[in-house]
Amino acid sequence: MARALIIDTDPSVDDAVAALVALASPEDLEVLALTTVAGNVPVALTTKNALKILALAGRTDIAVHPGATGPLNGALRSAEYVNGATGMDGFDLPEPARAGKGYAPDAIVDTIMARPAHSVTMVCIAPMTNLALALRKAPGVAGRLREIVIMGGARSEAGNITPCAEFNIFVDPEAAQMVFTCGAPITLIPLDCTHQALTSAGRLGRLRALGTPVAEALYHLLVFNKRFHERRCGTDGAPLHDATTIAYLLRPELFSGRHVNVAVECASGLTRGMTVIDWWSVTGKAANAQVLTGIHADAYFDLVLERLARLA
């Protein structure tokens, strides 16, 4: 039976690829809903982008639930400098013909409580405010989840928004800490892993060669997206961060890592949002997450392209 997912997202193109690969894998994954949050851009825009992505895939049957307009504490720190003012600059997808409905934290609670225990997986590819609000409203949700798969954080790769912090965790560290301490099985895919998986010219060429409207749209969005990273890091391509979560669910053998303790720095101004990953078990604290730091990058892109080729 296909594994049921809620994808909590702030699209951006790597979120879009994650959702599209999941939608292209119905034999393995059932996407119950997309829940959106303020992150890359404000939530009105991430919601619009989520609706556009589903329309692109012809899946207007899947609900989009808009969620938190900002982190639990303080103001939103968004990232228009990476993906443009819309969050998905580089290709104009049609304006969505429908709106988001409901409120993401409520939808997360209602869906998880209505489905059989240990059947729903949360895929968190954005600041985790929505899941934190759901846990605050209904702490019992944690014990009913099958798994939480998170793209976020960094072990030894250092941060991408501050020297110590990765964007998704930095935007809402308190939410992340609530999630890491909730007791559900967690898999974390940090920058150490995603920085090995770059949208090189060769890989983008293979994407465009698929020749479908989906591939053409993603090609242009990814070309826009890679410019920032290439300028900053001098690489050929940018990390395709968020689709690693879906690839992990489809082909866990492409990844390697350890079960360790993860805590989030919520206090220090200097290191706020840092994921403190106890790789060598020096604290003696119980492991609360599987942290993946290794990826077979070529096989990851083969999988992504094979699944995207299924979409028209």
Q: Using CB under 6 A as the criterion, which residues of the chain lie in contact with ligand BDR when the complex forms? A: 12, 14-15, 40, 79, 82, 125-126, 151, 160, 166-168, 241-242
Nearer to ligand BDR, 79 or 311 (CB): 79
Q: Which does 160 bind (CB under 5 to 8 A by kind): ligand BDR, Ca ion, none?
A: ligand BDR
SS (H, E, C) 65-118: EECCCCCCCCCCCCCHHHHCCCCCCCCCCCCCCCCCCCCHHHHHHHHHHHCCCC
Nearer to ligand BDR, 12 or 288 (CB): 12
Where would I find the beta strands (DSSP E) of the chain? 3-9, 29-36, 63-66, 120-125, 145-151, 186-189, 255-260, 262-264, 275-277, 289-295
For residue 209, the minimal CB distance to Ca ion (Å) is 26
Binding status of residue 172 toward Ca ion by CB under 5 A: no
Report the largest interatomic distance among the alpha carbons of the chain, rounded to a whole angstrom. 53
Binder of Ca ion out of 29, 32, 72, 126 (CB under 5 A): 126
Q: Which residues pair with residue 243 across a beta bridge?
A: none
For residue 113, the minimal CB distance to Ca ion (Å) is 26
For residue 88, the minimal CB distance to ligand BDR (Å) is 11
CA nearest to 249, candidates 149, 124, 111? 149
Nearer to ligand BDR, 126 or 250 (CB): 126
Nearer to ligand BDR, 35 or 109 (CB): 35
Nearer to Ca ion, 30 or 242 (CB): 242
* Residue among 65, 195, 229, 241 flagged as catalytic: 241
List the interface residues with Ca ion, window 52-111 (CB under 5 A): none
- Sign of dihedral through CA atoms 293, 299, 303, 305? positive
Q: Measured between alpha carbons, how far is 138 from 130 in angstroms, rounded to an integer?
A: 12
Q: Is 195 a catalytic residue?
A: no
Q: Which residues of 140-159 are buried (b: 16+ CB within 10 A; e: fewer)?
A: ebbebbbbbbbbbbbbebeb
User: Which string of x and - marks every residue 231-270 that binds Ca ion (by CB under 5 A)?
Assistant: -----------x----------------------------
For residue 285, the minimal CB distance to Ca ion (Å) is 28
Through-space distance between the first and last CA atoms of the chain, rounded to whole angstroms = 24
For residue 282, the minimal CB distance to ligand BDR (Å) is 26
Check: CB of residue 288 under 8 Å from CB of residue 179. no
Tell me the helix, strand and coil percentages in the chain, rounded to 5: 40, 20, 45
Q: Measured between alpha carbons, how far is 207 from 186 in angstroms, rounded to an integer?
A: 31
Nearer to ligand BDR, 66 or 84 (CB): 84
Binding status of residue 15 toward Ca ion by CB under 5 A: yes
Binding status of residue 8 toward Ca ion by CB under 5 A: no
Q: Measured between alpha carbons, how far is 297 from 192 in angstroms, rounded to an integer?
A: 12
For residue 116, the minimal CB distance to ligand BDR (Å) is 29
Q: Which residues are catalytic?
A: 241
Site residues (vs Ca ion, CB under 5 A): 10, 12, 15, 125-126, 242
